[in-house]
A and B are shown apart, each in its own frame.
Chain A
Amino acid sequence: NAGVTQTPKFQVLKTGQSMTLQCAQDMNHEYMSWYRQDPGMGLRLIHYSVGAGITDQGEVPNGYNVSRSTTEDFPLRLLSAAPSQTSVYFCASSYSVPAVDTQYFGPGTRLTVL
Protein backbone atom coordinates (compact mmCIF):
# COMPACT_ATOMS: atom_id res chain seq x y z
CA ASN A 1 0.00 0.00 0.00
CA ALA A 2 1.20 3.49 -0.85
CA GLY A 3 -0.78 4.94 2.08
CA VAL A 4 -1.60 8.64 1.69
CA THR A 5 0.00 10.38 -1.29
CA GLN A 6 0.08 14.10 -2.05
CA THR A 7 1.10 16.04 -5.15
CA PRO A 8 2.86 18.27 -5.81
CA LYS A 9 5.62 18.22 -3.18
CA PHE A 10 6.42 21.91 -3.74
CA GLN A 11 4.54 24.73 -5.44
CA VAL A 12 5.08 28.45 -5.95
CA LEU A 13 2.12 30.61 -6.94
CA LYS A 14 1.56 34.25 -7.60
CA THR A 15 -1.14 36.13 -5.72
CA GLY A 16 -4.51 35.55 -7.36
CA GLN A 17 -3.63 32.29 -9.07
CA SER A 18 -5.65 29.15 -8.41
CA MET A 19 -4.50 25.58 -8.04
CA THR A 20 -5.49 22.16 -6.75
CA LEU A 21 -3.55 20.13 -4.22
CA GLN A 22 -4.06 16.45 -4.81
CA CYS A 23 -4.52 13.81 -2.11
CA ALA A 24 -5.18 10.11 -2.53
CA GLN A 25 -5.28 7.12 -0.20
CA ASP A 26 -5.42 3.41 -0.96
CA MET A 27 -6.50 2.15 2.47
CA ASN A 28 -10.25 2.40 1.81
CA HIS A 29 -10.60 4.98 4.58
CA GLU A 30 -13.87 6.87 4.78
CA TYR A 31 -12.53 9.83 6.76
CA MET A 32 -10.16 12.32 5.18
CA SER A 33 -8.95 15.74 6.32
CA TRP A 34 -6.85 18.66 5.15
CA TYR A 35 -4.59 20.55 7.56
CA ARG A 36 -2.19 23.43 7.27
CA GLN A 37 0.96 23.72 9.35
CA ASP A 38 2.49 27.13 10.00
CA PRO A 39 5.70 27.91 11.94
CA GLY A 40 5.15 28.05 15.68
CA MET A 41 1.58 26.80 15.43
CA GLY A 42 -0.13 23.46 15.64
CA LEU A 43 -1.81 21.87 12.66
CA ARG A 44 -5.15 23.46 11.88
CA LEU A 45 -8.08 21.72 10.22
CA ILE A 46 -9.21 23.26 6.91
CA HIS A 47 -11.87 20.84 5.63
CA TYR A 48 -12.80 17.25 6.24
CA SER A 49 -14.90 14.51 4.67
CA VAL A 50 -16.75 11.57 6.18
CA GLY A 51 -17.21 9.77 2.89
CA ALA A 52 -17.74 10.20 -0.83
CA GLY A 53 -20.02 13.17 -1.48
CA ILE A 54 -19.88 14.50 2.09
CA THR A 55 -17.60 17.35 3.18
CA ASP A 56 -17.61 19.93 5.94
CA GLN A 57 -15.65 22.96 7.09
CA GLY A 58 -12.96 22.87 9.71
CA GLU A 59 -11.30 25.61 11.70
CA VAL A 60 -9.83 27.68 8.83
CA PRO A 61 -11.86 27.03 5.65
CA ASN A 62 -11.85 30.49 4.05
CA GLY A 63 -10.19 30.58 0.64
CA TYR A 64 -10.33 26.82 0.15
CA ASN A 65 -12.78 24.43 -1.50
CA VAL A 66 -12.94 20.64 -1.38
CA SER A 67 -14.93 17.87 -3.01
CA ARG A 68 -15.02 14.10 -2.53
CA SER A 69 -16.25 12.28 -5.61
CA THR A 70 -14.54 8.98 -4.71
CA THR A 71 -13.43 7.29 -1.50
CA GLU A 72 -9.79 7.47 -2.62
CA ASP A 73 -9.40 11.13 -3.61
CA PHE A 74 -9.82 14.37 -1.67
CA PRO A 75 -8.45 17.40 -3.59
CA LEU A 76 -8.05 20.85 -2.01
CA ARG A 77 -8.61 23.88 -4.24
CA LEU A 78 -7.19 27.32 -3.64
CA LEU A 79 -9.55 29.70 -5.40
CA SER A 80 -7.41 32.86 -5.47
CA ALA A 81 -4.09 32.41 -3.72
CA ALA A 82 -2.99 34.94 -1.11
CA PRO A 83 0.37 35.29 0.69
CA SER A 84 -1.41 34.27 3.93
CA GLN A 85 -1.91 30.85 2.39
CA THR A 86 1.83 30.21 2.31
CA SER A 87 2.09 27.07 4.42
CA VAL A 88 2.68 23.34 4.43
CA TYR A 89 -0.48 21.38 3.68
CA PHE A 90 -1.11 17.87 4.95
CA CYS A 91 -3.80 15.44 3.97
CA ALA A 92 -4.77 12.72 6.45
CA SER A 93 -7.08 9.73 6.44
CA SER A 94 -8.51 7.32 9.00
CA TYR A 95 -10.77 4.28 9.01
CA SER A 96 -13.06 5.77 11.65
CA VAL A 97 -13.61 9.27 13.02
CA PRO A 98 -10.27 10.97 13.75
CA ALA A 99 -11.20 11.41 17.42
CA VAL A 100 -11.08 7.67 18.03
CA ASP A 101 -8.86 6.30 15.28
CA THR A 102 -5.28 6.84 14.18
CA GLN A 103 -4.86 9.31 11.34
CA TYR A 104 -2.36 8.58 8.60
CA PHE A 105 -0.75 11.66 7.11
CA GLY A 106 0.63 12.27 3.66
CA PRO A 107 4.11 13.74 3.09
CA GLY A 108 2.80 17.28 2.65
CA THR A 109 2.81 20.01 0.01
CA ARG A 110 4.91 23.09 0.67
CA LEU A 111 3.15 26.07 -0.90
CA THR A 112 4.62 29.54 -1.33
CA VAL A 113 2.43 32.42 -2.53
CA LEU A 114 4.31 35.47 -3.77
Chain B
Amino acid sequence: KNQVEQSPQSLIILEGKNCTLQCNYTVSPFSNLRWYKQDTGRGPVSLTIMTFSENTKSNGRYTATLDADTKQSSLHITASQLSDSASYICVVIPMDSSYKLIFGSGTRLLVRP
Protein backbone atom coordinates (compact mmCIF):
# COMPACT_ATOMS: atom_id res chain seq x y z
CA LYS B 1 0.00 0.00 0.00
CA ASN B 2 1.32 3.44 -0.93
CA GLN B 3 2.00 5.42 2.20
CA VAL B 4 3.66 8.67 3.23
CA GLU B 5 4.72 9.01 6.86
CA GLN B 6 5.97 12.27 8.35
CA SER B 7 7.89 12.93 11.53
CA PRO B 8 7.75 14.47 13.97
CA GLN B 9 4.01 15.09 14.26
CA SER B 10 4.72 18.42 15.90
CA LEU B 11 7.76 20.52 16.67
CA ILE B 12 8.47 23.67 18.66
CA ILE B 13 11.60 25.71 17.99
CA LEU B 14 12.89 29.16 18.90
CA GLU B 15 12.97 31.92 16.33
CA GLY B 16 16.25 31.98 14.44
CA LYS B 17 16.96 28.27 14.90
CA ASN B 18 17.12 25.69 12.11
CA CYS B 19 14.99 22.56 11.90
CA THR B 20 14.54 19.49 9.72
CA LEU B 21 11.30 17.70 8.98
CA GLN B 22 11.25 14.10 7.76
CA CYS B 23 9.16 12.25 5.18
CA ASN B 24 9.36 8.48 4.61
CA TYR B 25 7.38 6.93 1.80
CA THR B 26 6.65 3.53 0.33
CA VAL B 27 5.36 4.82 -3.03
CA SER B 28 7.33 3.17 -5.81
CA PRO B 29 7.88 4.05 -8.51
CA PHE B 30 7.07 7.73 -8.18
CA SER B 31 7.32 10.66 -10.57
CA ASN B 32 7.81 13.54 -8.15
CA LEU B 33 7.76 14.52 -4.49
CA ARG B 34 6.43 17.82 -3.17
CA TRP B 35 6.46 19.80 0.03
CA TYR B 36 3.56 22.10 0.88
CA LYS B 37 3.14 24.71 3.61
CA GLN B 38 -0.30 25.07 5.15
CA ASP B 39 -0.99 28.04 7.41
CA THR B 40 -3.75 27.64 9.98
CA GLY B 41 -7.14 28.09 8.34
CA ARG B 42 -5.68 28.23 4.83
CA GLY B 43 -5.12 25.86 1.95
CA PRO B 44 -1.74 24.25 1.23
CA VAL B 45 0.79 26.23 -0.80
CA SER B 46 3.54 24.57 -2.83
CA LEU B 47 7.11 25.02 -1.55
CA THR B 48 9.17 22.61 -3.65
CA ILE B 49 8.71 19.99 -6.33
CA MET B 50 11.44 17.39 -6.98
CA THR B 51 11.44 14.75 -9.67
CA PHE B 52 12.64 11.26 -8.79
CA SER B 53 16.06 12.08 -10.28
CA GLU B 54 16.69 15.24 -8.25
CA ASN B 55 18.50 15.26 -4.90
CA THR B 56 17.81 18.75 -3.64
CA LYS B 57 15.63 21.77 -4.32
CA SER B 58 15.67 25.13 -2.56
CA ASN B 59 13.10 27.88 -2.14
CA GLY B 60 14.59 30.70 -0.10
CA ARG B 61 15.18 29.44 3.44
CA TYR B 62 13.53 26.11 2.61
CA THR B 63 15.66 23.26 1.24
CA ALA B 64 14.21 19.87 0.37
CA THR B 65 16.36 16.79 -0.13
CA LEU B 66 15.47 13.44 -1.61
CA ASP B 67 17.10 10.03 -1.25
CA ALA B 68 15.25 7.71 -3.59
CA ASP B 69 17.31 4.70 -2.47
CA THR B 70 16.14 4.94 1.13
CA LYS B 71 12.77 6.46 0.19
CA GLN B 72 13.28 9.46 2.42
CA SER B 73 12.89 13.18 1.97
CA SER B 74 13.59 16.01 4.35
CA LEU B 75 12.68 19.68 4.51
CA HIS B 76 15.26 21.90 6.16
CA ILE B 77 14.25 25.36 7.36
CA THR B 78 17.08 27.79 8.00
CA ALA B 79 16.96 30.75 10.40
CA SER B 80 13.32 30.19 11.28
CA GLN B 81 10.87 33.06 11.50
CA LEU B 82 7.57 33.39 13.33
CA SER B 83 5.81 33.21 9.95
CA ASP B 84 7.19 29.70 9.46
CA SER B 85 4.66 28.47 12.03
CA ALA B 86 2.46 26.19 9.95
CA SER B 87 1.90 22.58 8.96
CA TYR B 88 4.27 21.12 6.37
CA ILE B 89 2.92 18.39 4.15
CA CYS B 90 4.90 15.88 2.10
CA VAL B 91 3.19 14.63 -1.07
CA VAL B 92 4.35 11.77 -3.32
CA ILE B 93 2.95 11.20 -6.79
CA PRO B 94 2.93 7.59 -8.05
CA MET B 95 4.40 7.12 -11.51
CA ASP B 96 1.21 5.54 -12.86
CA SER B 97 -1.14 8.23 -11.55
CA SER B 98 -2.31 11.49 -13.09
CA TYR B 99 -4.70 12.51 -10.33
CA LYS B 100 -4.14 10.46 -7.18
CA LEU B 101 -1.55 12.18 -5.04
CA ILE B 102 -0.47 10.53 -1.77
CA PHE B 103 -0.48 13.11 1.04
CA GLY B 104 1.26 12.78 4.36
CA SER B 105 -0.56 13.92 7.49
CA GLY B 106 1.90 16.76 8.01
CA THR B 107 4.24 18.12 10.67
CA ARG B 108 2.93 21.02 12.72
CA LEU B 109 5.72 23.53 13.38
CA LEU B 110 5.51 26.28 15.98
CA VAL B 111 8.20 28.95 16.04
CA ARG B 112 8.36 30.86 19.32
CA PRO B 113 9.97 34.27 19.92
> Which A residues lie at the B interface, using CB under 8 A?
4, 33, 40-45, 48, 56, 58-59, 90, 92, 97-100, 102-103, 105-108
- Give the number of residues in B that approach A within 8 Å (Cβ atoms): 23
The smallest C-beta distance from B76 to any residue of chain A, in angstroms, reads 21
> Which B residues lie at the A interface, using CB under 8 A?
4, 31-32, 41-46, 49, 89, 91, 93, 97-106
What secondary structure prevails in chain A residues at the interface with B? loop
Is B43 touching A4 in the complex (CB atoms < 8 A)? yes
Residue in B32, B91, B100 whose Cβ sees the most chain A Cβ within 10 Å: B100
Is B98 touching A98 in the complex (CB atoms < 8 A)? yes
- Cβ-closest chain B residue relative to A59: B100
CA–CA, A99 and B32, complex, Å: 8
Is A40 touching B100 in the complex (CB atoms < 8 A)? no
- Beyond A42-B4, A42-B91, A98-B93, 14 extra complex contacts between A and B, CB < 8 Å: A42-B89, A42-B102, A43-B103, A45-B100, A48-B99, A97-B98, A98-B98, A99-B93, A99-B99, A100-B98, A105-B43, A106-B43, A107-B41, A108-B41
Is B42 touching A58 in the complex (CB atoms < 8 A)? no
